[in-house]
Structure 1
Amino acid sequence: MNLPNNIPHLCQISLSKFNNQYRMLLPEKMSGSNFIASLHLDPLTQIDPNEIYPVRAATSHPIEENFRVQLFEQLLNTDQHLSIDHLSSLGELMFQSDAGYTSCDLNSEETHLLVNLIRQQKSSNNVLFGAKITGGGGGGTVAVLAQNSSEAVETIATIVDQYEKISGRQTRIFSGSSSGLVTYPSMTIEM
C-alpha cells in the first residue's frame, strides 16, 4: 500500500478515503516471518516471527481513532452545558475506541471485563456514558465518562465490587481530572 506523497502519516487519510481505497488492499492478518521477509524496515521494532499480527485492524485503528478524537472534540465544543444526548454520543465514541484497541489485541481480559461491566450498567441509567482502555498507568487503566453525581459514584463503586469479585483483582479509582497542560504556557523547541 503506497500512500500519496503529501500524506506522511496514516491518520491523515480521511476515514472514508481509507475505507474506499485502501482497507481492502491490506491483509487481514500476517505472520511476523512474512512481515520481516517482505516489509520490515524499522531496526528498532522487534517482530516475533511466530506471531500473527492483525494488520488491517492495526492500520484501521489510528485512522478511525483520529476521526473519533476530532468528533469528540467537536461535540465537547458545541455547548456550554452538555446534554444527555451529547454525553451519550461521547460515551459511544469511547466504546468504539475501546473496540478498536481490542481489535488490535491491545486490551487485556481485565480491562475488557471492566468496560463491559460499565457498558451493561450504562443501559440501565443515565449516569455512566462510556468507557475505554487508556494508556495511563502503563495499561490496565480504564477511563469512564460519568455524570458528576453521587449516583455515578455509587454506580462505579458497585461496578468495582463486581469486577473485584469476578476477576479476583483489587482496583483503585482515580476520580476527577486536572487542568493538564492547559495551565502551562506552550513552548516551541527548534532543532
Structure 2
Amino acid sequence: MDKTLLASFFSPDQAYVVAKAPGRLDVMGGIADYSGSLVLQKAIKETTTVAIALRHDGVVRIKSLTADKADLQTTFLYQDLLKNRQEVDYAIAREQVKKIQGGDWASYVVGCFLVLQKEKGIVVSGADILITSDVPVGKGVSSSAALEVATMKALKELYPLTFEPTELPRLAQKVENLIVGAPCGLMDQLASYFGNHSHLLPILCQPDIVHAPVAIPAGIYFVGIDSGIRHSVGDASYSDVRAAAYMGYSMIVREKGITNEQLAHAKTQRDFLQLPYQGYLANITPAEFEASYAQKLLYRMAGHYFIRHYPVHPDPVTTVEEEKFYAILDCTRHPVYENFRVKTFLLLLQYLATGLNQQSRIQCLEQLGELMYQSHTSYSICGLGNPHTDELVEMVKQNRNKGVYGAKITGGGSGGTVCVLCDGAEGLQTAHTIHQQYQEKHRKSVKFFE
C-alpha cells in the first residue's frame, strides 16, 4: 500500500496495521465445497490490502479503492448496528448494515468486527479503514474472501488475537453467511488464507481439512479468462442449486431411516457427523449413488411439496421457497461426481509430475482436460452455466492441438472466470490468443489471470 496514500488517510498519531490476502482461481471443486468435496485452489497474484487504525468515538470510516478504479467511502456509528446498541445479534446486524450508505460493500469489512465481537469478545470503539485491491469484483476469483481474510488478519494483529489453524477463515465465512447474507461454502476463505501462487491447495471441505500444497508440474499453467459477465455468490440461482443439493441429501438420509427429529437436531447443533455419510453428499461414491438413490430423486420438485413431505431442510444458510422448483437430481448428483473428478484430477496431476514420455504426457493432459470439461458441463446441468463462459470453453476445445487441454467455469458459476489448463509456452500463448479474440469479438476488455 502506497505510503503517500496511508499518510493522506490516517492522522500522524494513529497506529495502523496493514494486512493483505490474494484472490483465488478455482481449478477444480467449485460449488461442491458445501457438500464436502475435495477442491483444488490456486492463489492469484492479485491481492486485497487492508489498513486499520482504531478510534475511540464509535465512528467507523471506510475508504476503498477497488480494481475497477471506484473510490468508495462511508462513515457510520458502529453502535447503530448492535442490538440495544450493545450486543451483536447477527440477524439485526445484517438488517442494520443494509441501511447504511455503502452497506452492500461495507458489510464485508464491518462484518469482521461484528463477528469478532460476537465470537472472540473484542471491544469495538470505532475504526479508520483503508482498502486497496486489484482483485476484480464479480469475476469468480473470490474478491469477497480476499477482503474478509485481509480484514481479519489486520484485526488479529491490531487487538491482538490468537486463532486455531483454520479459525480465521471459518470466522471470515461467518461474515459472508451471517452478515452479508451470501450462502458461500468455506473454500474461498481457506484458499485466500492458505493458498500460494506456485502450488495447488487441496482442501477437503469437511469442513476445513487443508492438505499440503501440491506443486504444479513444470511447464503446466492454470490461467483464468474473465467472461465479462458478473458473478455473484448471492444470486438466486446459486442459492437454489445449493438448497436443492441439501434437499437431495435430506431425502437420501430419510431413505436410510433418519428421522426429522434427528435431522433437525443435527441442523440446530451444526453437527452432522452422526448422520449418514457424515453429513456430506461427497462421501457417496458415484456407483452407490446410481445404484441406491438416483432413481428415487425427482428431476424437479416444487418447494411446497418438499416442505410438506420433508419438513427439515438441513442447510443452515439457505431456505426452500414454496413457489420455486428445484432440480433435485442434478444438483445432488453434481457433488457426488465432482468429488470423484477432483480426486482423479489430483492423482493424474501427480502422475504427470513423475516425468512421462511425450505420448503418455499428452494422454494424461487429455484426461485432465476431460475432467475439467465434465465439471463445466455439470455446472450447466445444475443451472449455473452461461453462454459466455460456454463460448470460452468451446474456444479452448477448438484449439486443443495448440497446447490447451481443458477449461471450466470457476467458483459459483453463472458467469465469472473460466480456468484453462495450458501446456508449455505454446499453450500459454494459445490462451492469450483466445483471450484477445474474445475481447475483439465482444468489443470489451476482460481480465487475464496468469
TM-score by length of 1: 0.78
Question: Does the 8 A contact of 1:30 with 1:52 survive in 2?
Answer: yes
Match of 2:252 in 1: 2
Aligned pairs for 1:30-69 within 5 A:
30-39=301-310, 40-41=312-313, 42=315, 44-69=317-342
Task: Give the drift of 1:69.
Answer: 0.7
Task: Give the drift of 1:137.
Answer: 10
Matched position secondary structure for 1:7: helix
Point out where structure 1 has 5 or more consecutive residues left out of the alignment.
176-191
Higher Cα Rg, which structure = 2
More strand by share: 2
Point out where structure 2 has 5 or more consecutive residues left out of the alignment.
1-250, 257-274
Question: Does the 8 A contact of 1:33 with 1:48 survive in 2?
Answer: yes
Match of 1:21 in 2: 292
Query: Percent identity at matched positions?
Result: 37
More moved, 29-38 vs 13-22: 29-38
TM-score by length of 2: 0.35
Task: Give the drift of 1:107.
Answer: 2.2
Alpha-carbon distance between aligned partners in 2 of 1:78 and 1:153, rounded to the nearest angstrom: 21
Question: Does the 8 A contact of 2:408 with 2:418 survive in 1?
Answer: yes
Distance verdict in 2 for CA 1:136–1:7, change over 3 Å: closer
Alpha-carbon distance between aligned partners in 1 of 2:412 and 2:277, rounded to the nearest angstrom: 29
Alpha-carbon distance between aligned partners in 2 of 1:11 and 1:18, rounded to the nearest angstrom: 10
Task: Give the drift of 1:148.
Answer: 2.1
Task: Give the drift of 1:126.
Answer: 4.3
Deviations 1:42-94 (A, max 9, x none): 46313344433211110000000010011111112224235111111001000
Match of 1:144 in 2: 420
Provide the aligned C-alpha RMSD in A: 2.4
Match of 2:406 in 1: 130
Matched position secondary structure for 2:418: strand
- Aligned counterpart for 2:376 among listed residues 93, 98, 110: 98
Asked whether 1:77 is paired with 2:350, we answer yes
Distance verdict in 2 for CA 1:162–1:34, change over 3 Å: farther
Letter in 2 for 1:156: A
Question: Does the 8 A contact of 1:110 with 1:167 survive in 2?
Answer: no
Displacement over 4 Å in runs of 4+: 136-139
Matched position secondary structure for 1:144: strand
More moved, 81-90 vs 39-48: 39-48
Distance verdict in 2 for CA 1:102–1:168, change over 3 Å: farther
Question: Does the 8 A contact of 2:379 with 2:413 survive in 1?
Answer: no
Deviations 1:149-168 (A, max 9, x none): 1x223322221233224444
